Structure formats: structure tokens, C-alpha cells
């Protein structure tokens, strides 16, 4: 790695002063130079424009702005999804949810349709439709934001082959939804008091409407009931455990702890 690159990385590290400062400096410089992190080893020189851009990104990151919003992309499963401040950034926990849903669908040949409620970037639904491309599974994504749905549609067009794109429909209103074999959702479940305590890059920059809980679990399940086929499964990320064996019309099939104050609920209608 040549001296100019090393000096820029050192400057970025000194500005950020965090545990991941070196990694984040490399991510931002590689983004600006349009190379991989390892590609920085082969960068001979960095133009003035790129240096200026990099310094501005480092300063924005030093104030807490998430890397994914600075670069506009976030890896998830096999893809890099476009992201912007209108959506939550796809998280590692959601990849675990993907694996849980994929395992069930793989072992349940009768599954033909999946609904993703609060789809955001579309990462979960797009990844599932791609993973089961040989099954011809139909997907539907629901979100209340026009900006979010536009982003999800753009991700679909950029990442999926045309025949797979046609298998997904996007909805702002639930009026046109049907019933589905599988429904997945990561609804807002963080209390206001917990939200205030989240890291700055979460509570300052990510959309609070997608994080702060307004409905109880029972209220969400009443809503989901109309979309889950009898005998179908609901996969839900939620902020606390459930002690009951049944909740409303749903039977609790599994409960998986996936982090602090985070659980995956698997329910059967």
C-alpha cells in the first residue's frame, strides 16, 4: 500500500477514533476509489477530488452517520442492496431470519407464496424469491412509504432477472393483498425509552417510524391474521419473549433468541 493511501487511512482513523476506525476508513476510501478493500493495495494515487470526497465522508461518519447511508449500499445474503435514510439498514439479525424462513420453505414443498410486511429495502423478500428461483414462489412486499417502495422496486430491477422480477408485487395499501403460505415481518418493537438509548447512528439517522413500537404484539397479530393462510406460518422478529403456547388465532411453534431484547417468533395459524 503506497504512502498517500496509508496517510489517508491514518487520517481517517485519527478522525474516527473508534474500535472499527481502521475498517471504516478502508471501506470509505475503497468506496471513493471504486475498488475493494484489498484493491487499495494496488491504488497508486488518489486524485484531489477523491481525497476531498473521502475527507467529507469521514467527517460525516465521525458525527455518527451510518456507513451504509454514506455509501448507499449494504450487503445482505448474496446481494448488495441500495439503501437510503428512508429505510432501516438490513441487519445481521435479518439474515438469521432469512435462514430460518428459508429452512422452513425448503422443507415445505407446498409453500407457493410469501408476504413481507414492512419490506424496507426489499432485502428479505428479494433474497427469498432468488433463493427459491426454481420453485417459482410468488412474493408480495407491503410498506406504507412511497419512497421505500420505490427503493425496493429499484433493488428488484437491479438485482433480479426479469422472470424473477415478475414474481414480486409491491403494495402501499393492504387492500389488494390476498392470503399467503408464509408471512414475514420485522415490525417496530423498540420502546421509546430503549430507542433513546440506542447508538447515535440508529436513533439520529435511521427512521424512527420503523423502530419505535406503536402497536402491541396482539394488535400486530390481529392484523397479520387476515394474510396468513390456515395452516400457514408467520415469522416475526419481536422485542420480547412469549410465554403462551397460543396467541390469538396463532399457535407458537418456535421461539428463537437472536440478540439482546430480540426474538424470532414462529407461529402457525
- Measured CA distances, 35 to 26, 67, 74 (Å): 10, 16, 16
pLDDT at 170: 97
- Measured CA distances, 128 to 112, 136, 149 (Å): 12, 11, 17
pLDDT at 260: 61
What SS3 class is residue 246? Answer: strand
pLDDT at 249: 84
The residues, ordered by sequence, that sit 6+ positions from 263 with a Cβ below 8 Å of its Cβ are 237, 238, 239, 240, 241, 242, 255, 256, 257
Residue spans of the domains in the chain: they are: 3-63, 74-268
pLDDT at 92: 82
Query: Are residues 183 and 227 in contact, defined by beta-carbon separation less than 8 angstroms?
Result: yes
Average pLDDT over residues 68-97: 93
Average pLDDT over residues 163-184: 96
What distance in Å separates the CA atoms of residue 212 and residue 195, rounded to the nearest whole number? 7
pLDDT at 247: 79
pLDDT at 196: 79
Furthest CA-CA distance within the chain: 64
Label residue 163 left, alpha or beta by phi (over 0 means left) and psi (-120 to 50 means alpha): alpha
- pLDDT tens-digit map of 92-134: 888 999 999 999 999 999 999 999 999 999 999 999 999 999 9
What SS3 class is residue 251? Answer: strand
Label residue 12 left, alpha or beta by phi (over 0 means left) and psi (-120 to 50 means alpha): alpha
Query: What global pTM score does this model have?
Result: 0.90
74-268: CATH topology is: Rossmann fold (3.40.50)
pLDDT at 261: 64
Residue 198: which H helix or E strand, with range? none
The strand pairing partners of 256, in sequence order, are: 264
The DSSP code for 229 is: E
Average pLDDT over residues 38-66: 92
- pLDDT tens-digit map of 203-227: 888 888 877 878 888 889 999 999 9
| HSE-CB of 115 using CA atoms within 13 angstroms | 22
Does residue 246 register a pLDDT over 80? no
Does residue 81 register a pLDDT over 80? yes
Amino acid at each position: 500500500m503506497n504512502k498517500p493511501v496509508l496517510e489517508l487511512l491514518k487520517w481517517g482513523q485519527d478522525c474516527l477514533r473508534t474500535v472499527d476506525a481502521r475498517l471504516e476508513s478502508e471501506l470509505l476510501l475503497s468506496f471513493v476509489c471504486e475498488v475493494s478493500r484489498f484493491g487499495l493495495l494496488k491504488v497508486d494515487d488518489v486524485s484531489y477530488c477523491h481525497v476531498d470526497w473521502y475527507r467529507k465522508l469521514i467527517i460525516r461518519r465521525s458525527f455518527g452517520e451510518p456507513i451504509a447511508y454514506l455509501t448507499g449500499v449494504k450487503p445482505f445474503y448474496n446481494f448488495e442492496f441500495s439503501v437510503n435514510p428512508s429505510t432501516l439498514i438490513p441487519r445481521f439479525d435479518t439474515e438469521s431470519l432469512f435462514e430460518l424462513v428459508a429452512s422452513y420453505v425448503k422443507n415445505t414443498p407446498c409453500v407457493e407464496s410469501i408476504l413481507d410486511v414492512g419490506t424496507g429495502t426489499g432485502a428479505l423478500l428479494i433474497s427469498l424469491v432468488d433463493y427459491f428461483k426454481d420453485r417459482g414462489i410468488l412474493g408480495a412486499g407491503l410498506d406504507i412509504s412511497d419512497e421505500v417502495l420505490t427503493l425496493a422496486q429499484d433493488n428488484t430491477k437491479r438485482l433480479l432477472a426479469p422472470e424473477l422480477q415478475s414474481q414480486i408485487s409491491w403494495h402501499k395499501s393492504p387492500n389488494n393483498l390476498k392470503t399467503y403460505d408464509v408471512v414475514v415481518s420485522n415490525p417496530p418493537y423498540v420502546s421509546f425509552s430503549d430507542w433513546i438509548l440506542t447508538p447515535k447512528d440508529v436513533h439520529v439517522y435511521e427512521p424512527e417510524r420503523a423502530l419505535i413500537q406503536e402497536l402491541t404484539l396482539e394488535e400486530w397479530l390481529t392484523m397479520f391474521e387476515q394474510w396468513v393462510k390456515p395452516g400457514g406460518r408467520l415469522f416475526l422478529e419481536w422485542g420480547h419473549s412469549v410465554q403462551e403456547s397460543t396467541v390469538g388465532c396463532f399457535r407458537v411453534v418456535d421461539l428463537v433468541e437472536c440478540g439482546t431484547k430480540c426474538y424470532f417468533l414462529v407461529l402457525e395459524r
